[in-house]
Chains A and B, each alone.
Chain A
């Protein structure tokens, strides 16, 4: 039900934006559609492979190992391991989500998966090397990393509290 409502909300946003673009100039709307189509076609195979693959990956992941390392009783050590794993997972939009979802299906604790996804979002080393450090002052990058460091733990802790 939530999912359906969310799709409706997305449709409303898209319709509103499309109307605003059309009012500015019909050509802008055409460009928007064509740009969106290009992006959609680009995403399609990536998503298909990622979604289909994560099912097989989850089937293969050794459940005992996942449970022992990242299961409900893995505690602070599990969070730390999950955070390090997140930082080491390559960037790009799919990899971390695919692995995180597979680990969740294989029995990893929600809190540890939350820490993993958060750490992956914040600290993916290869994105920092190939995009962030070349574009931004290195000290600002380091400052960002330092202030963000506690957050995967915080996210895991809040998840434990709320659940």
Chain B
């Protein structure tokens, strides 16, 4: 594995086995055995064939998603990202933060520390929340690789349309002065949108 990603950009680290995978594997295998025992081998075989075809059709998209993610991660330095969501960026900053969150191909081990770094370097709470929400709700990488195989393009596109304005709206809501007292140390240069 090459280890020459730009400095300051955490490499993708993965445990060989993770929690979510174990849960899904147990559920899948368990229900497969259960279906076979309850309804017989023919039913089980039919389901398997149908889902295997679905799996084959999504593979090219998964491969392309991986390639796009890797290229973006290698080409865009973290410094560049930090530059654009500085303090006092207004709604435009929220939009930029949300778009970067949406496009940034990374896991939680990169996103949350990055959001924390952004806040330390002057991004306000609204921008940080817009960034995290953009990644959570609209993360393109995850949607292509994971969500589409399960739900299909229509569902994902519809969910995207519904969620599209949310990161900026959540950022605006988080900037509301009501919360100033709660977040008792508001970063300088921050206020109403």
In B152-182, the 8 Å CB interface with A consists of 152-155, 157-159, 162-163, 166, 170, 173-174, 179, 182
Tell me the smallest distance from the CB of B87 to a CB of chain A, in Å: 15
Alpha-carbon distance A49/B179, docked complex (angstroms): 44
Do B75 and A92 touch across chains, with their CB atoms under 8 A apart? Answer: no
- Evaluate contact between B183 and A114: CB separation under 8 angstroms: no
The reply on A78 being an interface residue by CB < 8 A is: no
Give the one of B1, B60, B62, B129 with max A CB within 10 A.
B129
Q: Is the interface of A mostly helix, strand, loop or mixed?
A: helix
A72 at the interface (CB under 8 A from B): no
Contacts of A32 in B (CB 8 A): 67, 70-71, 74
Q: A residues within 8 A CB of B145?
A: 43, 47, 93
Whether the Cβ atoms of A118 and B163 lie closer than 8 Å is yes
Q: B interface, by DSSP: helix, strand, loop or mixed?
A: helix
Task: Flag if A92 contacts B150 (CB, 8 Å).
Answer: no
Residue A75 CB within 8 A of the other chain: no
| Number of chain B interface residues as a range | 35 or more
B96 interface residue per 8 A CB criterion = no
Q: Does B27 lie within 8 Å of A114, measured CB to CB?
A: no
Q: By the criterion CB–CB under 8 Å, are B150 and A50 in contact? A: yes
Q: How many A-B residue pairs lie within 8 Å, measured between CB atoms?
A: 246
CA A45 – CA B106 in complex, angstroms?
19
Closest to A104 in B: B151
From A20, A43, A92, B20 is in contact (CB under 8 Å) with A92
Chain B residues with Cβ under 8 A from A14's Cβ?
Answer: 64, 67-68, 71
Task: For the complex, give the distance between the alpha carbons of A151 and B52 in Å.
Answer: 35
25 sampled A-B residue pairs with Cβ under 8 A: A2-B157, A11-B64, A17-B68, A20-B75, A21-B75, A35-B1, A36-B70, A43-B62, A43-B66, A43-B145, A47-B146, A48-B55, A50-B149, A51-B55, A53-B25, A54-B51, A55-B47, A93-B145, A95-B23, A101-B151, A118-B159, A132-B132, A144-B133, A147-B174, A158-B162
The 10 closest A-B pairs by CB, nearest first: A92-B20, A53-B28, A135-B112, A35-B70, A101-B150, A131-B108, A55-B51, A56-B31, A97-B150, A36-B70
